Structure 1
Amino acid sequence: MFPDRRRPTPPPPYRRFQRSVPERRTQKRSAAMPNLISRFRKPDGQFDLDKITEAAVQLNKLYGEVSPMISKIKSSVRK
């Protein structure tokens, strides 16, 4: 009907679950991992087994304290 009229461009397709955030997360994660590993190294670059063992003992204690609470929560949710 109007041959010289410009037609509007259609909007881009809706992408419900696609984000650009994971790209930033991988950058943060990759930057954090060397920092985490470096905490268990000696100044000469070797792994400090005493620090690793101490961290494992602390994690075991934490698990021992938290696991009964988690099991209580699980049992109350199932009912």
Structure 2
Amino acid sequence: MENAVQYSVPINELISMYRSLRIRTKKRIGEAFNKNFHYGDDNSVMARLFDKRLSFNYDEYEFLCPIIVLNYEFEQWAKPQYLDL
């Protein structure tokens, strides 16, 4: 049995978190998303989701929510440490 943590944040907050991530992180998330849902290599679906031109379905939300939240929390934690170097 997995000990996965369930994340649930409002979609607007999820979009805001995603937009604040570094470009490299967004690219990695997009690649994982496309691979998981068998989309093409372009990020057009991700772009439409995060520009609010396309609605999330539950599977997409369930997949993206923990990835975005964990990356966002990590970047918020790490950012001050980089400034101290």
Q: Larger RCO: Structure 1 or Structure 2 (Cα < 8 Å, ≥ 6 residues apart)? A: 2
TM over 0.5: no
TM-score by length of 2: 0.30
